[in-house]
Structure 1
Amino acid sequence: MNEQEFQEKLARERREIDRIDKQLLPLFLERMGCVERVGALKQQAGAPVRNAAREQEIIDRVSRQAGELGQSAAAFYRAIMAISRDREHIIIGGDSDLRRLERTADRELPSPVGRVVCQGVGGAYSHKAASRLVDDGDITFVPEFSQVFREVEKGALGVVPVENSAAGSVTAVYDLILQYRFYIVGAVDIRVEHCLAAAAPGPVTKVISHPQAMAQCSEVIAARGLEAQEYSNTAAAAQAVAERKEAGLAAICSEDAAKRYGLTIIERGVQNVRNNTTRFVAVYKKPVLQNGANKISLCFSLAHTTGSLHSVLRRFATHGLNLTKIESRPIPGRSFEYDFYLDFTGSIHDPDTLNLICALNAELPRFSFLGNYSELSTEEDG
């Protein structure tokens, strides 16, 4: 087949596709008209939007009728059903609680914000994150992440790390976010520049630091043949090295922490990758929905059915929303059941996005809206 013959045949088939599409669009619009009438009937009757049994009946039927294209036909119909459900939710206007929250929540944190709590000690990366996020708070420190959340329960603003660009998620914090389900009211990316610092002279044989920091500096630890011991926090490790003054003992910490506790910096930039960033979030008991916020967090669980997660994620794509984070964590006390945590770009003040969140809240078990906030960059951290 020469090029001209190929182009002629291709053009013929494309014209046929265009002809079919012209027939499909009116049918789609006609179907959506039926969906709107069904939604109005459900609203009058107080019936739920989703009828999972009927949906599965339709999927099974079209899968059989489509033969070898059964899976593709099922995927096509699942997408239509998701669009239809979203339209019914708009008509019914469900989840008045979320819509009320969007209207009435504060748009800014109180000023002054009051007590701000971080895990660790002064000079930690969380200290820098808290200073970036809040400029009028009284920053205090506690030994454990769980204590941060208990202080938030009492009214404090908590600042905790959630992920590192090199070492991944801080799973202990995601577990606490899913346990307490406080609101996320801000986020900041802090550039991480680790150093190796000691209090006593002589060669280093042992290093202590937070496990995330040691994972970020694993190449230097291996190259120097250092014994590694986990510690609660990078700055707390620096403080411990300063207090113990033990020969051969060093900390992996920030340069700020090393200087704060009077340590000698042996080597700077010991992290495996140069562009190493940790993301911190601010958690608060009350919602704060800034008008210019551009990131949304939420969580939910899913039934163990084929394609359930894909079906949910596809709806974000349908609404033009970009997912930036997905994390799954086991539900305590349940076997192989998981909560999913999602971040995506968007604003709850956008009607289309609010409609989607309300629809998901109505359909998904263990659903929680966790906040709409802005994320600061690392530019000021050089």
Structure 2
Amino acid sequence: MTDLLECRKEIDVIDKEILRLFEKRMKVCEDVAEYKIHTGKKVLDQKREQDKIEVLKESAHGEFNELGAQELFQQIMAISRKRQYQLLTKNGVENDTKDYEMVDALPMTGVNVVFQGVEGAYSYAAMRAYFSDAVNSYHVKTFRDAMEEVASGKADYAVLPIENSTEGIVTDIYDLLTEYQLYIVGEQGVKVEHVLLGIPETSLDEIKTVYSHPQALAQCKKYLESHPDWKIVKTENTAGAAKKVHEEMNRSQAAIASRAAGELYGLSVMAENICYNDQNVTRFIIVSAHPVYEKSAAKVSVCFELPHESGTLYNMLSHFIYNGLSMTKIESRPITGKKWEYRFFVDFEGNLEEPAVKNALRGLEAEANRMRVLGNYGQQEEQ
């Protein structure tokens, strides 16, 4: 019978030898990095790595060991690249963040701010919470319109909803962020407290039609299901629904919106606490045409596209893990014109001035088909 203790002793000896050879390899890797620093040669040489792995696989014995050798050396090579990225950063070699400018604080007075919807909408509340009263604000009809206002220079900032704690991401915003060369410079959370609004002195028995934005309707689904006879009609925003009920003065109509929208349009609260999640919060982003970030910024947002190959997402995420960066969110969106291929969006904690962030971004930029830093920003307190 095999002696387990002896087997473990032998493994310990082998592991020490593997560690010695690994460190020897990493020392040579540092010499390679020095060469690339002086010549400008890229860290990743995809063909060289693929050719080398094929040779090593052929030298292994048996199908299991062939696959094991492939995975082992893929990881060793990935670690070697990460060390080279560190040395490039340490030696001041610029990467994709060179165009970003750090500022003590964003300009917040006398600026033009656009939001989607109308006064009384949650976007309006987010704008009021983030900016001082010393701004010129105005509204537009669609998210795209808001992006266009910033891209054209008519507005300095746009306030846009990107995520709700109940219903998830606002997909249109993610798609627009990749279409427009704009940057996230701030964020604002707003607690969403939907109420049912109607003409004053109207009873619930009189209601036949309820208007609101699709996300608000979804967030109040359970309440609406308790009134199966009501007709549900989608609108572009919650405040717009309240405005419609006010303008038409039809006692059979009601809107799901904020209490503030009801006060603005002279409507009465017919029912409150109608959202099934009492921790219902929407996160809004502040978008600018200028790649700036505050010195105190603590979150980075990036998006990247990957080769359609096994293990590529794992390799990308390892850049965050290896540099000790905490990811706070990951989402994917299909890439138009490329069937079953996806663009990934990642939020992680950090500042563009930090070496760990620079290392991770350098790796992403080198190994993704396409990578873009969407912004570096801080987090305001919820309203």
TM-score, structure 2 as length reference: 0.89
Q: Structure 1 residue 233 and structure 2 residue 237: aligned?
A: yes
Match in the other structure for 2:192? 192
1:133 corresponds, among 130, 133, 142, to 130
Give the AA of the match of 2:167. Answer: A
Cα offset for 1:137? 2.1
2:350 corresponds, among 346, 352, 366, to 346
Residues 62/144 of structure 1: CA separation in 2 closer, same or farther (3 Å cut)? same
Match in the other structure for 1:75? 71
When the two chains are superposed, the root-mean-square deviation of aligned CA atoms in Å is: 2.4
Give the AA of the match of 2:322. Answer: T
Cα offset for 1:72? 4.8
1:231-380 map, 5 Å: 231-378=235-382
* Farther-moved stretch of structure 1 (369-378 vs 334-343): 334-343
Q: Structure 1 residue 210 and structure 2 residue 213: aligned?
A: yes
Contact between 1:108 and 1:288, CA under 8 Å: does it hold in 2?
A: no
SS in 2 for 1:367: strand
Cα offset for 1:29? 1.6
Contact between 1:298 and 1:369, CA under 8 Å: does it hold in 2?
A: yes
For residues 231 and 9 of structure 2, the distance between their equivalents in structure 1, rounded to whole angstroms, comes to 69
* Farther-moved stretch of structure 1 (44-53 vs 86-95): 86-95
For residues 97 and 270 of structure 1, the distance between their equivalents in structure 2, rounded to whole angstroms, comes to 49
Contact between 1:95 and 1:358, CA under 8 Å: does it hold in 2?
A: no
Give the AA of the match of 1:50. Answer: L
For residues 82 and 258 of structure 1, the distance between their equivalents in structure 2, rounded to whole angstroms, comes to 57
Residues 195/367 of structure 1: CA separation in 2 closer, same or farther (3 Å cut)? same
Match in the other structure for 1:117? 114
Cα offset for 1:141? 0.9
For residues 157 and 36 of structure 1, the distance between their equivalents in structure 2, rounded to whole angstroms, comes to 44
Match in the other structure for 1:30? 24
Partner deviation per Cα, 1:294-330 (whole Å, 9 max, x = no partner):
1100111111111111110122111111212222222
Contact between 1:234 and 1:252, CA under 8 Å: does it hold in 2?
A: yes
For residues 250 and 323 of structure 1, the distance between their equivalents in structure 2, rounded to whole angstroms, comes to 41
Match in the other structure for 1:4? none
Give the AA of the match of 2:129. Answer: R
* Farther-moved stretch of structure 1 (237-246 vs 128-137): 128-137
Give the AA of the match of 1:266. Answer: M
Match in the other structure for 2:140? 142
Cα offset for 1:139? 2.0
Residues 134/240 of structure 1: CA separation in 2 closer, same or farther (3 Å cut)? same
Match in the other structure for 2:80? 84
Residues 14/377 of structure 1: CA separation in 2 closer, same or farther (3 Å cut)? farther
Contact between 1:123 and 1:235, CA under 8 Å: does it hold in 2?
A: yes
1:108 corresponds, among 96, 100, 105, to 105
* Farther-moved stretch of structure 1 (341-350 vs 329-338): 329-338
Percent sequence identity over aligned pairs: 36
Partner deviation per Cα, 1:266-293 (whole Å, 9 max, x = no partner):
1111112111111111010112222221
Gaps of 5+ in 2: none
Give the AA of the match of 2:185. Answer: V
For residues 262 and 13 of structure 1, the distance between their equivalents in structure 2, rounded to whole angstroms, comes to 81
Match in the other structure for 2:181? 181
Partner deviation per Cα, 1:117-158 (whole Å, 9 max, x = no partner):
110011111111112221132221111000110111114201
1:2-17 map, 5 Å: none
Contact between 1:181 and 1:368, CA under 8 Å: does it hold in 2?
A: no
Residues 68/197 of structure 1: CA separation in 2 closer, same or farther (3 Å cut)? same
Give the AA of the match of 1:216. Answer: Q
Contact between 2:102 and 2:295, CA under 8 Å: does it hold in 1?
A: no
* Farther-moved stretch of structure 1 (195-204 vs 165-174): 195-204
Residues 76/319 of structure 1: CA separation in 2 closer, same or farther (3 Å cut)? farther
* Alignment length (residue pairs): 370
SS in 2 for 1:150: helix
Say which structure is richer in helix: 1
For residues 214 and 69 of structure 2, the distance between their equivalents in structure 1, rounded to whole angstroms, comes to 48
Partner deviation per Cα, 1:37-62 (whole Å, 9 max, x = no partner):
22233344432221112222344455
Give the AA of the match of 1:353. Answer: V
Residues 276/15 of structure 1: CA separation in 2 closer, same or farther (3 Å cut)? farther
Contact between 2:143 and 2:173, CA under 8 Å: does it hold in 1?
A: yes
